[in-house]
Amino acid sequence: MRLLHTMLRVGDLDRSLAFYQDVLGMRLLRKEDYPSGKFTLAFVGYGSETDHTVLELTHNWDTAAYDLGNAYGHIAIEVDDAAAACDAVRAKGGKVVREAGPMMHGSTVIAFVEDPDGYKIEFIQKNSGSSH
């Protein structure tokens, strides 16, 4: 067994694809419309679905926004330098919601950014402390 993908419902697929591709540097791996169900699925990631876990962005054509609720946490991405990753996101118009620094009660350097729908993405700086 292996983890395949995490699905996120998005209100504006073009806006979300621009964020994940242009801001976070992921590639669009595949995209398909399902007219009878009125939705589109787009899969993005840093490598092929055969070797990497990816994100499935689901756009229901008749839904422009979602309530995020309080159960879902975040997506985590390993980066070489969390501060530099935040600077790159900010330079491309992205939103940094927690600047790079040690996690509370630990030494791992983390930061958080937010996608256009409000989903949190955690940057974890490689080799900065214990992994979680």
pTM comes to: 0.90
Task: Decide if 130 is inside a domain.
Answer: no
Q: What CA–CA distance (Å, rounded) separates 16 from 92?
A: 14
Q: What pairing do the DSSP bridges indicate for beta strands 74-79 and 120-125?
A: parallel
9-57 pLDDT, tens digit each = 999 999 999 999 999 999 999 999 999 999 999 999 999 999 999 999 9
The residue behind tokens 């679905």 is 49
Task: Decide if 69 is inside a domain.
Answer: no
Task: Decide if 115 is inside a domain.
Answer: yes
CATH number of the domain enclosing 19: 3.10.180.10
Question: Cα 41 to chain center, whole Å?
Answer: 15
In the chain, the number of structural domains is 2
44-72 pLDDT, tens digit each = 999 999 999 999 999 999 999 999 998 89
Task: Decide if 80 is inside a domain.
Answer: yes
Q: What CA–CA distance (Å, rounded) separates 81 from 131?
A: 15
Task: Decide if 47 is inside a domain.
Answer: yes
Which residues are known catalytic residues? Answer: 122
State the residue range of the domain holding 102: 74-125
Say whether both 78 and 31 belong to one domain. no
Give the closest residue to 72 by CA, choosing from 28, 27, 26, 122.
122
Say whether both 84 and 42 belong to one domain. no
Say whether both 85 and 110 belong to one domain. yes
Q: What CA–CA distance (Å, rounded) separates 98 from 91?
A: 16
